[in-house]
């Protein structure tokens, strides 16, 4: 038994090390996606909250980059690489408490196989990065007091604190309390007599104060934005629901998704061994969240990572189910899950950097690369160098000046241009559009002194997301003229084109409200 225990511990340690190194390499090597580079602005201009999300992701970027002293992709993403390693350990601990050490190891393997866990929260810097950490910490603490008839109050209080920190990461963090509340009401009502439960809830409420205060001062714009993204009373559209479920299958790994369904059926049939309290808490937390977003997806487009923390919890049920099988070898579904994740990582990086599988068939100059989603994370570094030459030439010829800033009408490519182009060249990037389009740049504009009537500006768009400046800004400038077209190659083939425009003499600001 001791030998088996030691073997599992060694294998688990190897898993953590290999996962950490692989994700560290990817974090340093791959360019930012649109969302990631936008969250960099949360650290660049920190606040109590933001238009899109609470402030935690920005705070984590500040912490791990030493307040952007080190501002490469690696350091901005470093919290993701470290937190996912901690998350894997927490999943391992929950699995051990749910049944045994082998269950914990299988849970860690399945968690490593999740694209949401490994890539979205483990490489990319997203609000889901701190959300996953605090979600799992809250669940672990909740388990430790709900399993005990005389619980240590510290576990109750830590549960409330971690839920509060999860809320400061992403609004969905509050659903942990919904799961705990449902469990208590259905299975353990005597917990309602424990006064520390209400102190824990108060701790969570205290954590929400920065977000509520910011929204109070900004007309609750963030809550209004998110309320528009879900709908309770609209005409059903099964395409939305199908897209949502299909995305959940891909994001959480098809193998993990199927295992979660089977394990949940096993739970309701009473076929899962191990701790029933943990199993019930997981089901009470995970299933309502999944079903809720399926309901939203009936009438509005949704994103599949919104309920992925629920699938992370269902991994525990899958591990319990698989650990009940005879034999000491790791079950094939677990191995297949990790192998699929390794394939996705290697294949994804190769595809991003080489485009060896053609995903786009457009030949038009203004549409090149439009259908290739991997171009979100390719070409910005190359363009930055080429634009510097264009800018120097325009300045030397008196067409533009060094003080001219860059404008765009949407939060991306505003943030992409800000990080990859303006930052190294010491330029300003400003949003010229509605708050619904430019998001945080509504406030960044104020920090940077705003747009000035009569000034000239650069406008840059690419064929991947081409937006015609004439259609956008014809009434805003005296003249809009194309200065340069820059083609970015990938493995010797054109990947996408950048179009560099001069917008002459801004004459109104009515789009900025």
**Going residue by residue through the chain (513 aa), what tens digit of pLDDT does each one get?**
576 778 899 999 999 999 999 999 999 999 999 999 999 999 999 999 999 999 999 999 999 999 999 999 999 999 999 999 999 999 999 999 999 999 999 999 999 999 999 999 999 999 999 999 999 999 999 999 999 888 889 999 999 999 999 999 999 999 999 999 999 999 999 999 999 999 999 999 999 999 999 999 998 888 777 666 665 666 778 898 999 999 999 999 999 999 999 999 999 999 999 999 999 999 999 999 999 999 988 888 888 888 999 999 999 999 999 987 655 678 999 999 999 999 999 999 999 999 989 888 888 899 999 999 999 999 999 999 999 999 999 999 999 999 999 999 999 999 999 999 999 999 999 999 999 999 999 999 999 999 999 999 999 999 999 999 999 999 999 999 999 999 999 998 999 999 999 999 999 886 554
Q: What is the rounded distance in angstroms from the CA atom of residue 252 to the CA atom of residue 258?
A: 10
Q: What is the pLDDT of residue 247?
A: 92
Backbone φ, ψ for residue 443 (5° rounding): -85, -35
Strand partners, 55: none
Strand partners, 208: none
Q: What is the pLDDT of residue 513?
A: 46
CB 94 within 8 A of CB 103: no
Give the burial class of 135: count Cβ atoms within 10 A of its Cβ; 0-12 exposed, 13-18 middle, 19 or more buried: buried
At 223-251, the pLDDT tens digits run 777 666 665 666 778 898 999 999 999 99
| Bridge pairing between strands 429-431 and 477-490 | unpaired
At 6-42, the pLDDT tens digits run 889 999 999 999 999 999 999 999 999 999 999 999 9
**Look-up of token digits 């510290």:** 154
Backbone φ, ψ for residue 430 (5° rounding): -135, 145
Global confidence as pTM: 0.93
Q: What is the pLDDT of residue 308?
A: 93
Distance from CA of residue 200 to its chain's centroid?
A: 27
CB-side neighbour CA atoms (13 Å) of 388:
13
Inter-CA distances, 143 with 95, 136, 156, Å? 11, 10, 10
Q: By three-state DSSP, how is residue 468 classified?
A: coil
The tokens describing 316, both together, are: 């525990």
Strand partners, 498: 462, 486
Q: What is the pLDDT of residue 299?
A: 85
Q: What is the pLDDT of residue 140?
A: 97
Q: What is the pLDDT of residue 221?
A: 85
Q: What is the pLDDT of residue 136?
A: 98
The tokens describing 498, both together, are: 């950048």
């Amino acid at each position: 038994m001791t030998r088996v225990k030691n073997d599992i511990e060694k294998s688990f340690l190897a898993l953590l090390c290999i996962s950490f190194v692989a994700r560290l390499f990817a974090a340093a090597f791959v360019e930012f996606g649109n969302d990631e580079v936008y969250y960099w602005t949360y650290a660049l201009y920190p606040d109590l909250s933001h238009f899109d999300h609470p402030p935690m992701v920005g705070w984590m970027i500040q912490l791990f980059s030493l307040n952007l002293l080190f501002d490469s992709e690696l350091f901005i993403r470093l919290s993701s690489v470290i937190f996912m390693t901690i998350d894997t350990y927490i999943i391992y601990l929950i699995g051990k408490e749910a049944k045994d050490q082998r269950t914990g190891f299988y849970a860690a393997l399945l968690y490593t196989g999740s694209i949401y866990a490994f890539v979205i929260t483990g490489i990319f810097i997203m609000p889901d990065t701190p959300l996953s950490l605090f979600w799992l910490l809250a669940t672990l603490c909740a388990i430790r007091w709900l399993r005990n008839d005389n619980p240590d109050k510290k576990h109750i209080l830590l549960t409330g604190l971690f839920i509060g920190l999860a809320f400061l990461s992403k609004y969905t963090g509050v659903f942990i309390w919904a799961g705990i509340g449902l469990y208590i009401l259905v299975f353990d009502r005597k917990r309602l007599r424990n006064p520390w439960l209400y102190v824990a809830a108060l701790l969570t409420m205290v954590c929400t104060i920065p977000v509520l205060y910011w929204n109070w001062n900004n007309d609750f714009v963030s809550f209004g934005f998110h309320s528009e993204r879900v709908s309770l009373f609209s005409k059903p559209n099964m395409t939305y629901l199908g897209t949502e479920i299909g995305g959940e299958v891909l994001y959480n790994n098809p193998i993990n998704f199927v295992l979660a369904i089977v394990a949940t059926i096993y739970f309701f049939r009473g076929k899962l061994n191990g701790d029933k309290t943990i199993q019930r808490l997981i089901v009470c937390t995970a299933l309502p969240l999944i079903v809720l977003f399926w309901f939203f997806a009936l009438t509005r487009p949704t994103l599949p990572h919104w309920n992925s923390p629920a699938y992370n919890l269902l991994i525990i049920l899958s591990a319990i189910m698989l650990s009940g099988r005879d034999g000491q070898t790791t079950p094939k579904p677990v191995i297949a899950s990790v192998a699929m994740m390794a394939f996705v990582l290697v294949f994804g990086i190769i595809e991003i950097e080489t485009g060896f599988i053609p995903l786009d068939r457009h030949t038009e100059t203004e549409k090149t690369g439009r259908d290739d989603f991997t171009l979100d994370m390719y070409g910005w570094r190359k363009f930055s160098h080429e634009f510097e030459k264009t800018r120097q030439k325009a300045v030397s010829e008196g067409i533009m000046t060094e003080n001219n800033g860059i404008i765009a009408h949407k939060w991306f490519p505003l943030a992409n241009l800000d990080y990859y182009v303006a930052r190294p060249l010491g330029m300003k990037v400003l949003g010229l559009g509605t708050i619904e389009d430019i998001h945080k740049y509504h406030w960044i504009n104020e920090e940077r002194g705003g747009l000035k009537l009569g000034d000239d500006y650069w406008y840059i768009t690419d064929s991947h997301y081409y937006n015609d400046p004439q259609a956008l800004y014809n009434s805003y400038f005296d003249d809009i003229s194309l200065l340069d077209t820059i083609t970015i190659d990938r493995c010797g083939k054109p990947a996408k084109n950048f179009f560099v425009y001069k917008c002459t003499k801004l004459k109104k600001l009515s789009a900025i409200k």
